[in-house]
Each structure stands twice: as structure tokens, then as C-alpha cells.
Structure 1
Amino acid sequence: MLVIDNYDSFTYNLVQYLETLGASCDVRLNDRISVEEVLAHEARGVLLSPGPGTPDDAGVTLDVIAQVGGKKPLFGVCLGH
């Protein structure tokens, strides 16, 4: 599982849960990976972590949703209000 970390402290809780279930996780910060790298990544799915701030702070996340959706399974987690 490729995990896009949107600078949220809960990201590694999610990673720990996934790894407990047997998943292998590769965590990348939302401003340290490109859409091309996401598409080329060997992971079978992409988890989009929650994140603080606004969509302007989302890094590559919005582009991943637009360009990767339909090509790889996407799972977004929101823990906001």
C-alpha cells in the first residue's frame, strides 16, 4: 500500500493498523512524490491520509485523485469535523 502522508499525526496509526492486517506500506509525504511516481509504484492501492489545513496544503493529493483514480484503488481517510 502506498500511503500519501498529508502531514497528519494519525497517518502512522493507519499504517500500523494496515501492517497488523498484513499489508506492506510505503509512506511518502504529499510534497515529496509525483503523480508519475504514484502511477509507477508497485503498490496495488493508494491510501490518502487525513491532513491539517486546506486543499492548498494538499501537495500532490488532489492531482493523485484526479489522475490515479480508476487506474489504482484509492482510499481516502478524513477525520475532520
Structure 2
Amino acid sequence: ADAGISMELIRRFGAKVPLLGVCLGHQCIGEVYGGKVVRAGRLMHGKTSPIQHDGKGVFAQLPNPFEATRYHSLIVEAESVPSCLEVSAKTAEGEIMGLRHRQNPVHGVQFHPESILSKEGKDLLANFLKM
């Protein structure tokens, strides 16, 4: 991924500092740990989708599913997710919308919690800040 210093930042600080990757940051997390970023089957620019999640970490106490805003044309390929990461959220179509490192405090979301259309976004960000 052409992501500036993001990949190096994840490599260098992922084991020590809580990180939340949003959209490109989420894709970088997938790639740094061995996953593959591929073209999504459909473009999602300014569209919302119901996000199904496992209720843990950044998703604790959030409605399941909840609507979130998406602005992306790439995704982390489901078949490529390495064993050190777990899928924490996805769409009904199986597209990965959340990743969590099994040992390190590293979380990623493909959608945009900061968007006004992501009604649960502030609660998700508050969950991250409590970590």
C-alpha cells in the first residue's frame, strides 16, 4: 500500500501503543501482518452499510448490527487474514469491516466512525480511548 509512514508506524509501535486504523489505516494493519489488500467487489463512496460485529474491544456495547459510512474501493481479502489477526466485524456480504490483533493493542475498521452518518461512531471511538 502507498500509505506514507503508516506501515512503518504499525510495525514500530503496534506492540506497545494502542492503535486504531481507519479505512486506509485498517488496510495497512491487514497488510503489515500478512494480509492482502484487494479491489472491493463494489465501490462504497459515501454509502452506509449494516456492520455486524463480535461485541468485543472497540465494538463493546454497540448495537449489532449498526449502520456505518464507507468510502473505499479496496478491502482486506478475507482468505488472506493471517492467524495473528481476527476479524471483528463484517458486512452481510462477508466483506471485512474490522480487524483486531490477537496479542497487540491494534484495531482496524474499514468504515468511517468519524462520519456523521455513522451514528455509533462516537461510542466506538470512546471504546478505543478507554483501552
- The structure with the largest strand share of the pair is 2
Higher relative contact order (CA 8 A, sep 6+): 1
- The structure with the largest helix share of the pair is 1
In our comparison, the structure showing a higher alpha carbon Rg is: 2
The TM-score with structure 1 as length reference comes to: 0.36
The TM-score with structure 2 as length reference comes to: 0.26
